Amino acid sequence: MPDMTPLPGQTIYVAPTDGTPLEETGTVDTSAPPEGQWKEAWKQLRSNWIFWVSAVLLVIIFIVVLFPGLFTDINPRQAQLSRSLEGPSADHWFGFDRQGYDVFSRVVYGARASVTVGILTMLFVTVVGLLTGAVAGFYGKWVDTAISRVADIFFAIPLILGAIVLLSTLNNVWSNRGYWGGVLAVVLVLAVFGWPQMTRIARGAVLEIKSLEFIDAARAIGATKRSNLWRHVIPNSLAPVIVTATVSLGVYIVAEATLSFLGIGLPPSVVSWGNDIAAAQSQVRSGNNLHVLFFPAGALAITVLSFMLLGDAVRDALDPKAKKS
């Protein structure tokens, strides 16, 4: 037992009550409007300058994709061989390429193919990946084993290598497929090799969510497994899926350009940045007239960068844990 006479500095001290008024425990602050998770994420996104930079760039890119006619009157397929490889001028800002096409016009019209491939692939991959991943993670057991192993097999095949094999086969059986056929073929091939990544992300998120107590609580009120999956598990697993989807959009655009560059992506009849970069190859070797390469490549880089920046900002908003300090 301690000495009952207190030492200096340890005498009984009672703070005046007015200094620290006692608050009722369990009061609710109702001054601010209610905030759900999405609203909070939007608030965070709004305060991030990276988001605004990418948003402005993407808005411009989308206008170019939807209304290329607003930016140029020149037909991208109208060749003026006499002006082949002419450099940039006041009338033709980006100059002419080897075929005598106007480079500016080709850059503007080429945006559509790249962005369409990127977005469609992302949609395919997200839907397939989210569904397979959620089912695998939620039902577990043999369903999980089956889906996961199939995903592993596809994951093990390098994207570009697999795409080359698939597309060259496709070219033999379906060579004349036009604009949308060409785009669709590239989208499908990229999606075939892209979905396992999303499956893994979704499966991981679902595994984490399904062990939480509110899932048990929902079962205890009599909710069926399937309604649990749709109402609670999937909505709560969306954040990492959305983040991965935005970041990978840029990757798919690059992949399309790579395939087109290799000559097996979009058919040459389609105006696309990848095809134009491929056509500029010879100029790279000679080292002259680099504007033919520079402008489509620059447009590609800016577009990919915008999507990547958006992905970064979305990740910061949705998944504060992954934020770099």
Partner 1 sequence: MTQPLLQITDLQVAFRAGKQDIPAVRGAGLTVYPGQTVAIVGESGSGKSTTAHAIIDLLPGTGHVTGGSIVFDGRDITHLKRREREAIRGSQIGLVPQDPMSNLNPLVRVGKQIKESLEANGVARGKAADKRVVELLEEAGLPDAASRARQFPHEYSGGMRQRALIAMGLAARPKLLIADEPTSALDVTVQKQILDHLETLTTDLGVAVLLITHDLGLAAERADHLVVMYKGQVVESGPALQILKNPQHPYSQRLISSAPSLASQRLTSQLRAEVRESSVKTAGEIAAEIVAEGELGGEVTDAVVEAKNLTKVFKLPGGAPGRSIDFTAVDDVSFRLRRGTTTAIVGESGSGKSTVARMVLDLLEPTSGSVEFDGIDITTLRDKKQQLAFRRRVQPVFQNPYASLDPMYSIYRSIEEPLRTHKIGSDKEREAKIRDLLDKVSLPSAVMRRFPSELSGGQRQRVAIARALALDPEVVILDEAVSALDVLVQAQILTLLNDLQAELGLSYLFITHDLAVVRQIADDVLVMQNGKVVEQATVTEVFDRPREEYTRKLLDAIPGGSIELAS
Interface residue list for partner 1 (CB under 8 A): 2, 4, 6-15, 17, 19-20, 22-23, 25-26, 28-30, 34-37, 40, 212-214, 216-223, 227, 232, 235-236
Tell the smallest beta-carbon distance from residue 137 to partner 1 (Å).
17
Long-range CB contact pairs, 272-275, < 8 A, 24+: 272/110, 272/113, 272/114, 273/107, 273/110, 273/111, 273/113, 273/114, 273/297, 273/299, 273/300, 274/113, 274/114, 274/300, 275/110
**Count of CB atoms situated within 10 Å of the CB of 90:** 5
Tell the smallest beta-carbon distance from residue 17 to partner 1 (Å).
6
CA dihedral (289, 290, 296, 298) positive or negative: negative
Tell the smallest beta-carbon distance from residue 220 to partner 1 (Å).
5
Cβ proximity to partner 1: between 5 and 286 the closer is: 5
Contact status, residue 111 vs residue 68, Cβ threshold 8 Å: yes
Cβ proximity to partner 1: between 66 and 217 the closer is: 217
Cβ proximity to partner 1: between 152 and 216 the closer is: 216
Contacting residues for 210 by C-beta, under 8 A, at least 6 apart: 137, 138, 233
Cβ proximity to partner 1: between 174 and 214 the closer is: 214
Cβ proximity to partner 1: between 63 and 217 the closer is: 217
Cβ proximity to partner 1: between 78 and 227 the closer is: 227
User: In this structure, what token pair is assigned to residue 85?
Assistant: 């490889």
Tell the smallest beta-carbon distance from residue 214 to partner 1 (Å).
5
Going by C-alpha positions, the residue among 192, 154, 158, 190 that lies closest to residue 266 is 190
Contact status, residue 233 vs residue 134, Cβ threshold 8 Å: yes
Tell the smallest beta-carbon distance from residue 76 to partner 1 (Å).
46
Distance CA 272, CA 250 (A): 16
Tell the smallest beta-carbon distance from residue 204 to partner 1 (Å).
17
